[in-house]
Amino acid sequence: MSLMTHPSVAPSISHFRKSCVTLPIPDFVEKSGIMNGQDPTSMEALYQRPGFIIRRAHQIVLALFDEEAADLGLTTTQYSVLHTLRARPGINQMGLCELIGIDRSTATMVLRLLEKNGLVERKQSEKDRRRNTLMLTSAGENLLVRAAPLSNAISTRMREVLNDEELTQLSHLLLQFVQSFNHRVRNPLLPDTATAADQTPTRASSS
């Protein structure tokens, strides 16, 4: 079964594709916004709020990834999991969650599907028999090789509307925002301290 057609994945992909088509796109040039006297109760006022724009941009990126990865049957979360297991072979599930900022239930669902499709396998830790570690299979490694052009393909799509300088500035500003508020979310990204197989990042104190 393709990862993209699995019941737990396909509905969300379909939602993102449809939402990117059906929501009307406001004219940001002619409708200059709240600061220029726009009615704060209008839909345009909502469309121009930074939080709404960021959420909408996230939906669009997911839709672009969906288009580019259709033949591979990958979602962005599945790709992140596979990429992390290649970078940190032997990490456990908690460490995986901390490195890419997903909760345990999401990780469990995604890993179960990847295991079912022969892309990931669990092995008993040599250092602690009570723990399982995660490894890519040869099929998982091969899929990542095939997926390598995805990043460049999506960047190319973004360059249809942004030049290199604008794209760099956008990335810088988003990174600054994410780093500043990383600690405010339920599943923060933690420092990438796993430098060897079977190592797990240490969860930061909540204080």
Structure-block tokens of residue 110? 């995604």
Q: What angle (nearest 5°) sits at the alpha carbon of residue 138, between those of residues 136 and 140?
A: 50
- Please report the pLDDT score of residue 16 as a whole number: 43
For the chain, 207 residues long, the average pLDDT of each consecutive 10-residue run is 49 46 48 61 93 96 93 94 96 94 95 97 79 94 95 92 96 96 92 48 41
- Please report the pLDDT score of residue 26 as a whole number: 52
Determine the Cα–Cα distance for residues 97 and 187; give it in Å rounded to an integer. 8
- Please report the pLDDT score of residue 124 as a whole number: 83
- Please report the pLDDT score of residue 4 as a whole number: 52
pTM: 0.73
- Please report the pLDDT score of residue 156 as a whole number: 93
Q: 132 forms bridges with which residues in the sheet? A: 124
